[in-house]
Structure 1
Amino acid sequence: MTTLTRPPAILFDLDGTLADSAPDLAGAMNRLQLQRGLPQTDYALLRPHASAGARGLIGAAFGLTPHDDEYEALRVAFLDNYTAEIAVRSTLFEGIGGLLAALHEHDIAWGIVTNKAARFTEALVPQIGLSMAGCVISGDTTPHAKPHPAPLIEAARRLGVVADQCWYVGDDLRDIEAGRAAGMVTVSVGWGYGDPSHPTPWNADLHVASPTDLTRLIATLSR
């Protein structure tokens, strides 16, 4: 990778990167289990699957995949539960507020690119303090979701920045795959729901252990 310079724009995944939404996602799943007279799955078992949404959580709680007959009814019921209580315990990860303030100070545009459907993104984002995002690209904004690069390229277009001048920050393999496919500098994070055990998970260009570390890195770079 060429020498890093301060980017004109940074794009972020939402769940597991900016927002710790696992408590509300797991809560929706636990309510679904209660509604069906089943024991609740321990939060520690559900949390690692939060980035994968309904598919990951239903797999963890029920052992089912989208190919199973029972899956679709569970998915609809789970999403109904989630819609009803989408921002009860969801918060920004520690240090995200300071990071976003630093981006503003350094005149770096930022936006959100998530696979979360717009009906959920539009409900969650303003309730957890992310309304100042320069753009929000949801999983159904473009014809393709991550790991396809289309959502990231659309986000760059909306910010008025060439895609290969952006960074993309995420906690999941598909984030890094999408960022790489879009020609962006990819940044994996050591918080969230992904596996941070490898020094550079998924061969990302950069790995940061905390939002504060990313804030510090950006401050050291010149345009």
Structure 2
Amino acid sequence: MTFPVRMPAPRAVLFDLDGTLADTAPDLAAAVNWLRTERGLEPKPYAVLRPTASAGARGMIGAAFGLGPGDDGYEELRLQWFDRYQSAMAVHSTLFGGVVELLDGIQAAGMAWGIVTNKPARFTDPLLPQIGLAHAGCVVSGDTTGFSKPHPAPLLEGARRLDIAPEHCWYVGDDLRDVEAGRAAGMVTVACAWGYCGEIDPATWGADYLLDTPTDLLETLRGLAGAPLKAATA
């Protein structure tokens, strides 16, 4: 867990969804392995698929079939994966440990919070109430603004919906593009090491904070707001 020079407490915290607030990889992986089984292929090990979960269809289909956008067969797989995932989005998906307490603590401190995800609204909107996130102050999906992260537009839209200036917001995510988007939007950035994180070491992303657990984030926010901050470790 690493800390920068002391910063003021934010007025709002915006979060990525998959791999940040919610552990959705089990259902994402199940959907892509269903595609493999339908084609007479053995399921891919979950350990191979999990790190790609934050990259959505591109990551999952790439890991499961070795195909990417523009390759023959990719688009068919993407559409079938969407349909399969939509039919079973919340079978095994849950909030990460400590997230409920984190969100309760943010609200108790008088801060707002919201969700900014690259997940399309067709999945985000029905999933959130099923996993206990229906009370988000704002929800910006990957197709809300016409841009997706690392473009800053979705984050700026989240700040606009909360009626809080971007410079008073923090953005928390588990992917390099989350940090890039937050930086471009003028927000303090938090890399969450508890998420999927992909193949690039989050210590190299240049985030303002790199934290190991949701509890670490809560304690950091409490400390900046004036409550005792637990001891930091290098």
Q: Same fold (TM over 0.5)?
A: yes
Give the alignment of 1:77-96 within 5 angstroms. 77-96=80-99
Look up the match of 2:61.
Answer: 58
SS in structure 2 at match of 1:107:
coil
Q: 1:138 aligns with which of 138, 141, 150?
A: 141
- RMSD (CA atoms): 1.5
Code of the residue aligned with 1:113 in structure 2: it is V
Could you tell me which runs of 5 or more consecutive residues in structure 1 were left unpaired when the two chains were aligned: none
Look up the match of 1:210.
Answer: 213
1:104 aligns with 2:128: no
Look up the match of 1:37.
Answer: 40
Structure 1 position 201, deviation (Å)? 3.8
Structure 1 position 36, deviation (Å)? 1.2
SS in structure 2 at match of 1:86:
coil
Look up the match of 1:20.
Answer: 23
Query: Deviations 1:37-93 (Å, cap 9, x if unpaired)?
Result: 111101110000000011101100100111111101111111111000001000000
Structure 1 position 198, deviation (Å)? 4.8
Could you tell me which runs of 5 or more consecutive residues in structure 2 were left unpaired when the two chains were aligned: 227-234
1:76 aligns with 2:118: no
Give the alignment of 1:154-193 within 5 angstroms. 154-193=157-196
Structure 1 position 3, deviation (Å)? 3.6
Look up the match of 2:152.
Answer: 149
Structure 1 position 200, deviation (Å)? 3.2
Runs of 4+ displaced beyond 2 Å:
195-201
TM-score (norm 2): 0.92
1:7 aligns with 2:10: yes
Q: What CA distance in whole angstroms lies between the structure 2 residues aligned with 1:129 and 1:88?
A: 14
Structure 1 vs Structure 2: percent identity of aligned residues? 59
Q: What CA distance in whole angstroms lies between the structure 2 residues aligned with 1:79 and 1:115?
A: 14
Equivalenced residues, count: 223
TM-score (norm 1): 0.96
Code of the residue aligned with 1:26 in structure 2: it is A
